[in-house]
């Protein structure tokens, strides 16, 4: 190996070690135990970036005292190519002595037919699968191979879609994957480029797999990467580093502004017997920039995406320039009450739309070659994960009111399907021998429905499970369960926000 190549290799590995130490040190005092982080899970697609990350971490593992594990997500959208990616990942991990786990995720029939699954759904499902696996094997740190190129593409995407200064902060070097769980996503390559990753792999004489779907300009990010970025590279060499400097300045300002917003909101937000409220006079005395931040934070606290239009509508209501009430989501509205603006929950008893009533998603059951399969339920903004029994499943059976069941699926007739309840539905209640109308079953069983409308899991004959309420005798486990069935959120913590 020439001296220049050895230097390039050493620089890449050393920069990764430095960045990992910086990120872990930032988290150590408040998040991780004194013993520090010893076990890492790498999201491994087989592409150049994640392959470079995994290879460099493997070289650092002995020195740093790390145990490296890898997880590959196979969406199955590219047929043989997807399977070859998975095989490459497994083989490289075996060569590097790294623990490997792969998951095959199934999409609903309508998504698979078009082969254009919304990219945000795929991303959220990957993160959920990585999070679940990390929890299953007791790992607190998940790493991805996002680079400086990905960061700049993200900023361009947000600019074109519409964003605020908060959106220009870009991808954070670390974030908690699900609040309160202590599992963190780290992006240690955000200071390095794709070209640097490729040079490192060339020196190591390690190949990587290129995902052909990354060239599909149907996806917005691919369009930016393949159609726009090359022209910018030609006209403005070094622009990515200059954009990164701007991002750092914006990030520092936003960090300060967030602290001011939280302090102002804690002093301004009050509650009486009726609801939460703020005084319009106190709000009106704030600078317009702080008003927008306060409005966005109040929306975010209610799990409402703070879009530009929503923020402007909230400001209009509070300033007295709009209507006296405004519906913000299916669960919340704000109302003017003299000098108060109140946040009021909405109780919605409306019947489901004909569109929702027509939805019916086939739920895939894992075969003997895989531990689990997840199916995206686009109309519910959820996925349903079915795992073979024994995949890190232990403890007592979940309560009937939970969104998880341990079940024997051996008596399922035909396909498992998820849909809304329909007239004439029947269920064989747990512990009973006869069928009853689902309507009667719901009247006699307590439980807080977790969804706006009643969702049911059925086979070709009858209802098997009413999530949040109870399940059928046909799922009874006479010995050990055959499967674990669990609802997962698709809309987890997001890296993008308006304000």
Transcribe 162-219 into DSSP letters.
---TTGGG-S-SEEESSTTS--EEE-TTTTS-HHHHHHHHHHHT------GGGG-TTS
Quote the CA–CA distance of 264 and 165 in Å, as a whole number. Answer: 19
User: If pLDDT is split at 50, 70 and 90, which confidence band does 497 have?
Assistant: very low
For residue 230, what pLDDT is reported? 94
| 166 vs 452, more confident | 166
Mean pLDDT of the chain: 85
* Least confident interval from 78-92, 367-381, 464-478: 367-381
Q: List all residues 6 or more positions away from 391 whose beta carbon is below 8 Å from its beta carbon.
A: 136, 371, 372, 484
For residue 252, what pLDDT is reported? 95
Task: Supply 68's token pair.
Answer: 């490296």
Going from the C-alpha of 481 to that of each of 129, 136, 386, 388, 477, the distances in angstroms are: 22, 18, 12, 9, 5
For residue 113, what pLDDT is reported? 42
Asked whether residue 277 carries a pLDDT value surpassing 80, the answer given is yes
DSSP three-state, residue 7: helix
For residue 306, what pLDDT is reported? 87
Going from the C-alpha of 382 to that of each of 73, 140, 356, 374, the distances in angstroms are: 18, 24, 14, 10
For residue 180, what pLDDT is reported? 84
* Architecture of the CATH domain 247-345: Up-down Bundle (1.20)
Quote the CA–CA distance of 23 and 20 in Å, as a whole number. Answer: 5
Given a contact cutoff of 8 angstroms between Cβ atoms, the answer to whether 309 and 279 are in contact is no
User: If pLDDT is split at 50, 70 and 90, which confidence band does 153 have?
Assistant: very high
* Least confident interval from 169-178, 214-223, 346-355, 468-477: 346-355
For residue 168, what pLDDT is reported? 93
For residue 110, what pLDDT is reported? 40
Given a contact cutoff of 8 angstroms between Cβ atoms, the answer to whether 404 and 487 are in contact is yes
Query: If we measure between CA atoms, which residue out of 65, 59, 53 comes closest to residue 19?
Result: 53
Q: What is the mean pLDDT of residues 33-49?
A: 84
For residue 261, what pLDDT is reported? 96
Q: What is the mean pLDDT of residues 309-315?
A: 89
Tell me what percent of the residues of the chain surpass a pLDDT of 90. 47
- φ, ψ for residue 181 (rounded to 5)? -95, -20
Given a contact cutoff of 8 angstroms between Cβ atoms, the answer to whether 151 and 250 are in contact is no
Quote the CA–CA distance of 31 and 23 in Å, as a whole number. Answer: 12
For residue 285, what pLDDT is reported? 92
Asked whether residue 242 carries a pLDDT value surpassing 50, the answer given is yes
* Least confident interval from 98-112, 228-242, 283-297: 98-112
Quote the CA–CA distance of 248 and 177 in Å, as a whole number. Answer: 22
Tell me what percent of the residues of the chain surpass a pLDDT of 70. 87
For residue 347, what pLDDT is reported? 62
Q: What is the mean pLDDT of residues 252-256?
A: 95
| 300 vs 215, more confident | 300
For residue 494, what pLDDT is reported? 47
Asked whether residue 492 carries a pLDDT value surpassing 50, the answer given is no
For residue 466, what pLDDT is reported? 93
Query: If we measure between CA atoms, which residue out of 498, 435, 495, 492 comes closest to residue 463?
Result: 435
For residue 116, what pLDDT is reported? 55
Q: What is the mean pLDDT of residues 399-425?
A: 87
Domain extents in the chain: 3-235, 247-345, 354-489
CA triple 465-468-471, angle to 5 deg: 25
From the candidate CATH numbers 1.10.1060.10, 3.10.20.600, 3.40.50.620, 2.70.70.10, the one assigned to the domain spanning 3-235: 3.40.50.620
Quote the CA–CA distance of 122 and 421 in Å, as a whole number. Answer: 27
Asked whether residue 391 carries a pLDDT value surpassing 60, the answer given is no
User: If pLDDT is split at 50, 70 and 90, which confidence band does 321 have?
Assistant: confident
| 254 vs 470, more confident | 254
For residue 100, what pLDDT is reported? 96
For residue 233, what pLDDT is reported? 94
Query: If we measure between CA atoms, which residue out of 23, 116, 10 comes closest to residue 56?
Result: 10
170-219 tens-digit pLDDT: 999 999 998 888 899 999 999 999 999 999 999 999 999 988 877 878 87
| 398 vs 317, more confident | 317
For residue 412, what pLDDT is reported? 85
Can you give the three-state secondary structure of 231-286, one letter per residue? HHHHHCCCHHHHHHHHHHHHHHHHHHHHHHHHHHHHHHEEECCCCEEEEHHHHHCC
User: If pLDDT is split at 50, 70 and 90, which confidence band does 31 have?
Assistant: low
For residue 88, what pLDDT is reported? 95
Asked whether residue 275 carries a pLDDT value surpassing 80, the answer given is yes
- 494: number of Cβ within 10 Å: 11
User: If pLDDT is split at 50, 70 and 90, which confidence band does 111 have?
Assistant: very low
58-107 tens-digit pLDDT: 999 999 999 999 999 987 777 888 889 999 999 999 999 999 999 887 55
Most confident of 44-53, 78-87, 105-114, 433-442: 44-53
Query: Packing angle between helix 239-268 and helix 288-301, nearest 10 degrees?
Result: 80
Quote the CA–CA distance of 28 and 179 in Å, as a whole number. Answer: 17
10-22 tens-digit pLDDT: 789 999 999 999 9
For residue 38, what pLDDT is reported? 86
Looking up tokens 């019947």, which residue turns up?
Answer: 351
For residue 448, what pLDDT is reported? 65
- 120: number of Cβ within 10 Å: 13
Most confident of 255-269, 299-313, 341-355: 255-269
Q: What is the DSSP string of 454-476?
A: -EEEE-SSSEEEETTTEEBGGG-
Q: What is the mean pLDDT of residues 280-294?
A: 94
């Amino acid at each position: 190996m020439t001296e220049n190549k050895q230097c390039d290799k050493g620089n890449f590995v050393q920069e990764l070690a430095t960045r990992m130490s910086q990120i872990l040190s930032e988290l150590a005092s408040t998040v991780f135990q004194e013993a520090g982080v010893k076990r890492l899970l790498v999201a491994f697609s087989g592409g150049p970036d994640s392959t470079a990350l995994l290879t460099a971490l493997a070289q650092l593992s002995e020195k740093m005292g790390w145990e490296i594990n890898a997880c590959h997500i196979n969406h199955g959208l590219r047929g043989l190519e997807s399977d070859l990616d998975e095989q490459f990942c497994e083989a490289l991990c075996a060569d590097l002595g790294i623990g490997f786990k792969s998951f095959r995720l199934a999409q609903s029939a309508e998504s698979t037919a078009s082969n254009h699954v919304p990219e945000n759904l795929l991303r959220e499902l990957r993160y959920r699968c990585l999070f679940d696996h990390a929890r299953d094997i007791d790992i607190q740190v998940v790493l991805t191979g996002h680079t400086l190129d990905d960061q700049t593409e993200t900023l361009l995407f947000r600019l074109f879609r519409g964003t605020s200064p908060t959106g220009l902060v870009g991808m954070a070097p670390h974030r908690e994957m699900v609040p309160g769980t202590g599992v963190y996503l780290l992006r240690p390559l955000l200071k390095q480029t794709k070209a640097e990753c490729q040079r490192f792999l060339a020196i190591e004489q390690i190949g990587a797999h290129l995902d052909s779907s990354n060239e599909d300009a149907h996806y917005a990010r691919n369009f930016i990467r393949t159609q726009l970025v090359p022209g910018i590279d030609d006209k403005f060499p070094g622009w990515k580093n200059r954009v990164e400097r701007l991002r750092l300045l914006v990030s520092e300002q936003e960090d300060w502004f967030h602290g001011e917003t939280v302090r102002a909101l804690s002093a301004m937000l009050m509650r009486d017997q009726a609801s939460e409220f703020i005084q319009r006079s106190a709000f009106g005395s704030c600078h317009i920039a702080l008003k927008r931040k306060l409005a966005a934070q109040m929306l975010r606290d209610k799990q409402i995406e703070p879009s530009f239009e929503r923020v402007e509508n909230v400001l209009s209501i509070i300033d007295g320039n709009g209507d006296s009430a405004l519906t913000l989501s299916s669960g919340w509205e704000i109302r003017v009450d003299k000098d108060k603006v109140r946040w009021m929950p909405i109780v919605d008893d409306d019947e489901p739309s004909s569109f929702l009533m027509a939805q019916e998603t086939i739920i895939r059951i894992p075969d003997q070659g895989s531990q689990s399969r997840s199916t995206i339920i686009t109309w519910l903004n959820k996925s349903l994960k079915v795992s073979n029994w024994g995949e890190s499943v232990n403890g007592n059976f979940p309560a009937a009111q939970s969104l998880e069941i341990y079940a024997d699926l051996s008596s399922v007739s035909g396909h498992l399907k998820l849909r809304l309840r329909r007239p004439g539905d029947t269920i064989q209640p747990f512990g009973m021998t006869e069928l009853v109308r689902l309507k009667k079953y719901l009247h006699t069983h307590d439980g807080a429905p977790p969804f706006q409308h009643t969702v049911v899991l059925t086979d070709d004959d009858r209802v098997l499970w009413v999530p949040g309420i109870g399940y059928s005798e046909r799922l009874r486990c006479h010995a050990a369960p055959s499967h674990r069935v669990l609802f997962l959120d698709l809309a987890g913590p997001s890296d993008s926000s308006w304000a």
